[in-house]
Structures are given as structure tokens and as C-alpha cells.
Structure 1
Amino acid sequence: MSRLWGGIDAGGTGFKCLIATGPDQIVAESAVPTTSPEETLAAVRSVFERCGPSRLAGIGVACFGPVDVREGSPGHGRILTTPKPGWSGVDVLGALRPLGVPLVIDTDVNAAARAERVWGAGRGVTVVAYLTVGTGIGLGFAGGPQGLMHAEAGHILPRRHPQDDFAGVCPFHGDCIEGLASGPAMRARWGAPAETLEASHRAWEIESWYLAQAVASALLVGAADRVVIGGGVGTSPGLVERVRRDVARLIGDYRAVLEPRGGLDVVVASAGLGRRAGVLGAIRTAQEVLPPMRATPA
């Protein structure tokens, strides 16, 4: 019998919770809004308590960051300095330990990259990068090397768009990619959330220009075979096609980075798992990292 796993996609706007074996067998799914750490994490525990944690082989957490994912570190499972008010230093894993279930934590983008590599738009290649564009901007990898920290592509300082003088919203850098192209940046710049802007709005030209620089970095520095774009803003209609055109402009005649990978239409892809990429990534992370502990009872 397939073992059941729990997944938590811990996001800046909401925490998605899933009990499943994978995308083809989902047993339960729910979400709680991200408010205070105490309120949010108590609500997440309640979700799994109602479902019965004894049914689970383990729970994976795909967490917004930055977060300490180093096994054995004194701060393992804690969120580091983050723009999310009230969440710096929060012990996410510690809040979940009362469930009595094996736990593992990784960044939301690394986890989503794992799921897309196995079940989604990254199938068939070795190194998958996942770029999420929503409350924040993050870049994660599956199938490639991982150091002490995760990639922080959201805080790259980009080449400015020639028609852009927006100061940016990042509290640390102002006009880094996250400060210029995240969901909050789009709202602050245009006075409306991204999902309300028409596809013809010039916002998308500027948005694409900055995201293309993150994609180019994943290809040139991260050696990704495929870059999958997801998140609430990243899945906006027509955005991936715009990003492909801007990546082509950025790379120019240096086509060697694209030719062996099959060209831009293959290399830059929309998230195959949609908005479940993060929470399915949490489950995939648990399946890959946690040792076999117990089978799911009948």
C-alpha cells in the first residue's frame, strides 16, 4: 500500500497543507492564512491533528525564507532574517514537533523544484531550477549542488529597465529583483494587484525584464537544464512567453547555453504542477529525505 505523507507549503500569504502520496492520490487538502507565527502554526497543527498524524510516514515543510535547513545546526528549522514582519527567528520545525511525526524542512523553491523534476514540467532532465514569483521571489534547484544556504536570486541587483524608476520595496536592498518584481512590488508600483492588470498593460514588459535576468542567472551560473516558473504572479497568462523573449535578448548570440538544452521553448517552462508545486514539493522532499519509518495503516 502507498504510504501517506503530509506536506506544508509555508508561504508569506498562506500555509497550504496536504495529505497525499503524490499528485495522483490526494487524501486531504486545506489552507490557513499567514498571520502571526503563533496563530498560523497552531492552525497548521490542528489540520494534521484532525486528519490523524499516526497515518503519516512523515511531514515535509516547504518554507518561505531565508530558513536554516542545515541538519545539526542550532538554528535548524528556524526562519532567518526575513521581510515578513514578526517571522524572523521563528522555529517552524519546533512548532510542529508535538505532532510526533518525522519532519524535514527545505526552502519552498528547492522543494517545488523536486516536485516539478519528478511529477511536473521538469521531467526528463537532470537539473531543474524553480523560480517562484509571488509575495517574494525565490530560486531553487533540484538535481544540482546545494551549499550551506539556498540560492538567493530574489536579491540579485539587476540591470534596470530603461523605462523604470521605481525605488523598489525590498527592506534590505530596495531595487533588487524581489523589490522590483514581486507581487507587493507590482501592487506598490501600479496601484493594483498583478492579477487585475490586463495582459496588454506595460507592467508585464517591465516584470518580464527582471524575471528574465533571474532565469538567465539560473542558466549561466546554476547550470540548470530547465527553469520552471511558478507562483501567484509567475503563472500569469502570457508571462512565460514574455520571459523567453527577454532571456533571448539577454543571452544574445551566446547560444551555447541553450542549444544543448533544446532551445528556449524547452528550457523556460510554466509550472506543470501549478499552485500545488510547493506543497507537493514538501511531500516529495519528505519522501526523498526521511528514512522509512512506518507503513501507513489500512
Structure 2
Amino acid sequence: MDYYGSIEAGGTKFVCAVADETLTIIKRISLPTMSPEETLKQVFDFFDEYELKAMGVGSFGPIDVNRKSNTYGYITSTPKHGWRNVDLLGRLKERYDIPIAWTTDVNAAAYGEMHLGAGKETQSCIYLTVGTGIGGGAVVNGAVLEVFSHPEMGHITVQRYPNDKLESTCPYHDNCLEGLAAGPALEKRTGTKGQSLPSNHEVWEIEAFYLAQALLNYTLVLSPEKIILGGGVMKQQQLFPLIRESLKVQVGGYVSLPPLEEYIVGCDLGDDSGTIGCLLLAKKKEG
């Protein structure tokens, strides 16, 4: 039997999966992200047992997705120790002479959600993960958005919440979304991890303000049919109505939007969004 492979390459863990022709997952493993040599040895040990037709890779970044670039397929300026300027795609191609789809982890998740998750029956959606960091992927007219590079939605500049003096947790930017709204920023504001905070804590209003501001900017630029929110912070369900209400205020009636309960939603595939997206991209690449 022929199989499809998926690698969701994260800074903390690599999730590898193999699926059959129907994209039913046959086996999956989760590996801690160690050095490239240690990690890839385990990746190869896993996939070597299968006759793969194609593979999809969704990687942490930044990565080079520009096919004209000399470093296409590389993980580039990542702060992850040992992984800067690693030719991940090249290493995989050396091992497996098969078509390999290459994109970001969040682009893969967006693709998975659009086809089989919360974005079904659309041709354009944004997937934003809010956790230890913030990252976003987009599908536009059925295709993953990437040309010269890929979206870095977590690092857009945002206006600060009134009287917010928090020192950004992003080492690159003083006023970016990730630095002011990711999990470490929540903890820095309150001294407590987000999952331990009560649902009525005032910090959720601040969080909703920043996320809604970002969603407004994405809406004005890309006008997606749906925005899907995932990641650990978005397991706080009280955030969804707060974000929708803040977005309504910040739009100010300038553009029309779909009903907000249908426009801003959680992910249907949960932790499988990226894996499913990689498998779909693999099958598309093979076809």
C-alpha cells in the first residue's frame, strides 16, 4: 500500500504521521525537537518503514518559501538554537525521492481547516494560533498564501490598549501583536499563566482588544470568508464573544462583515489542523 507522510515541525516538537489514500492516519508520533541531527534521525526511522508517495511539511519559521531563492526550503532566522539556516527540505529530499510540499505550520493548519475543518465550504480563510507565540496562515482562492515569503501575522504593529505600559515580550518589536498578546505577555501582565486565570479577569478585555485589532487589519487586507482561531490561549472560550464585540467597535461600520458568530470561530480539527493540512498538501503535490 502507498502512503502519504506529514511532518508538523515545531520548535518544541515534531509531529510525524502516515496516512493511507483516504488520508486516514495510520500511525503518528510526537518527537521532542532536539538538534537537527538527533531529530531527523528519529524522523527518518519513523518514515523509513513506509512506501511514501508524497509528503507535506509545515514548519516553524521563518522559512524560505521562495522557489527562486538559493535557500528555498531552509529554516532561516529562527531563534531556535541549532536550527538557524538549516536546509530541512533539502535533507528530506536527500532521503526520500518523492514530491514534498513545503510551507509554514500555520499555513498548513489554515489549509487543513479550510478543507476539512471550520472553513469548509469556503475558498479563503485565515488561521491564527495564539499560544506561546502568535502565528497566522492564509488560504486565498483555495491556495496557500506565499510568494516572496510567507505571512508573519504575529508581528504586525498594533496600537496599544489605553494606558498599557507592558514591556513587549518580543525581542524584535516593542508594539507587535505577539509581544503584547501571546501567552508570555498574559503571564507577564498578571504573574499567572493564562489557563489559571478566572474567566472574568480584566486582562481578557485587553487580550480581546489586541486580537480584534489584528483581525481588523487582516480583514481589511485579505477580506477572508472566515477567521479561525486556535492555540492554547484560545481555549479560553470567553475570549470569542469579547473579540467579536471589540472587532465590531473597531470596524466602526466602515466595512460589512459576515455574522460575527460565523466569521470568527474556533478550529474544528483541534491539534490535528496542521497534520491534516500537511497530508492534504502532500496529496495535492503528488497529484
TM-score by length of 1: 0.87
Residue by residue, what CA displacement relative to the aligned partner does 1:27-70 show, whole Å, maximum 9, x if unpaired? 11111122333333333223223xx231x211111111111112
Cα distance in structure 2, aligned partners of 1:135 and 1:22: 34
In structure 2, the CA distance between the partners of 1:188 and 1:44, relative to structure 1 (3 Å rule), is farther
Cα distance in structure 2, aligned partners of 1:132 and 1:183: 11
Unaligned runs of 5+ in 2: none
State the SS of the aligned residue for 2:73. Answer: coil
Is the counterpart of residue 204 in structure 1 residue 204 in structure 2? yes
Partner AA of 1:127 in structure 2 = S
CA contact under 8 A between 1:128 and 1:228: conserved in structure 2?
yes
Aligned to 1:189: 189
Cα distance in structure 1, aligned partners of 2:20 and 2:216: 34
State the SS of the aligned residue for 2:74. Answer: coil
Aligned to 1:296: none
1:222-241 equivalent positions in 2, closer than 5 A: 222-241=222-241
Aligned to 2:221: 221
Is the counterpart of residue 26 in structure 1 residue 28 in structure 2? no
Task: Say which of 61, 65, 71 aligns to 2:61.
Answer: 65
Partner AA of 2:58 in structure 1 = A
Q: CA RMSD in A?
A: 2.2
State the SS of the aligned residue for 1:240. Answer: helix
- The alpha carbon displacement at 1:202 in A equals 2.6
Aligned to 1:93: 89
In structure 2, the CA distance between the partners of 1:157 and 1:5, relative to structure 1 (3 Å rule), is same
State the SS of the aligned residue for 1:234. Answer: helix
Cα distance in structure 2, aligned partners of 1:21 and 1:186: 41
- The alpha carbon displacement at 1:156 in A equals 0.8
1:91-130 equivalent positions in 2, closer than 5 A: 91-102=87-98, 103-130=100-127
- Give aligned pairs, total: 283
Aligned to 1:16: 15
State the SS of the aligned residue for 1:77. Answer: coil
Residue by residue, what CA displacement relative to the aligned partner does 1:272-295 show, whole Å, maximum 9, x if unpaired? 11111112111122122x234xxx
In structure 2, the CA distance between the partners of 1:96 and 1:272, relative to structure 1 (3 Å rule), is same
State the SS of the aligned residue for 1:97. Answer: helix
1:241-256 equivalent positions in 2, closer than 5 A: 241-256=241-256
State the SS of the aligned residue for 1:53. Answer: coil
Cα distance in structure 2, aligned partners of 1:74 and 1:22: 33
Residue by residue, what CA displacement relative to the aligned partner does 1:158-181 show, whole Å, maximum 9, x if unpaired? 011124211111111133111112
Is the counterpart of residue 273 in structure 1 residue 269 in structure 2? yes
State the SS of the aligned residue for 2:286. Answer: coil
Aligned to 2:159: 159
Partner AA of 2:108 in structure 1 = A
Aligned to 1:295: none
Cα distance in structure 1, aligned partners of 2:190 and 2:33: 24
CA contact under 8 A between 1:22 and 1:280: conserved in structure 2?
no
TM-score by length of 2: 0.90
CA contact under 8 A between 1:218 and 1:227: conserved in structure 2?
no
CA contact under 8 A between 2:65 and 2:146: conserved in structure 1?
no
Cα distance in structure 2, aligned partners of 1:18 and 1:208: 34
- The alpha carbon displacement at 1:238 in A equals 2.4
Cα distance in structure 1, aligned partners of 2:77 and 2:62: 7
Residue by residue, what CA displacement relative to the aligned partner does 1:44-97 show, whole Å, maximum 9, x if unpaired? 223223xx231x211111111111112242111111212333322122113323
Cα distance in structure 1, aligned partners of 2:245 and 2:22: 31
Unaligned runs of 5+ in 1: 293-298
Cα distance in structure 2, aligned partners of 1:188 and 1:274: 26
Residue by residue, what CA displacement relative to the aligned partner does 1:188-239 show, whole Å, maximum 9, x if unpaired? 3333332232222233222222111221122111111111111222333222
